[in-house]
Structure 1
């Protein structure tokens, strides 16, 4: 009986140790290896996306910015028209997400929120009743 309890205890300790090591991501690659892989992917992105065609005019683009730390994104700029395009790396393949344009300016006159209109309507109803 003692041997069975001891064997179960050892088994549980081994499982707990494995789960702890896996939780702290100590089974993965070292940070230096991860940075080297990201550097290699960035160089590959520069090589692949350098001659990509612009979706607006069809001329060649150059890579303006590459972000491999969080989202694996790259921004290319057209040599002819200057438009920007956003690319994403998915499964070692670059996909065009969208032409990257700056935000459109807001109109100078904004519509009032519906709550203010409701208050004004209530005041008009009170004035009409009185």
Structure 2
């Protein structure tokens, strides 16, 4: 990563919303290694609260979570935020109808688990360009 890319990344905040501790810690490590500021929410309600409070540049949002699914979080954010937020949805779900619904809600990328961290980092860089 160039010095210019690192400086730009340091100014950007990514909110990770996922209930799988191992995946969250792996994503956090990879993204912080790229210079991003990373916030973590362990369920949909906490993710919604952090998104509204901290105004992240990007949300990496799991589809299936306790308390409020990624879809419900995204629907609520689309209704309440004045500025559209960039979202990468991650899921272990193989169904194409879920992907279609995520795209209808305006996700910027859709990544199926398991995925390589290079895939996530590439998607984050592309979305935040």
TM-score range, shorter chain: under 0.3
Structure with the greater alpha carbon radius of gyration: 1
What is the TM-score of this pair, normalised by structure 1?
A: 0.20
What is the TM-score of this pair, normalised by structure 2?
A: 0.20
Indicate the structure with greater helix content: 2
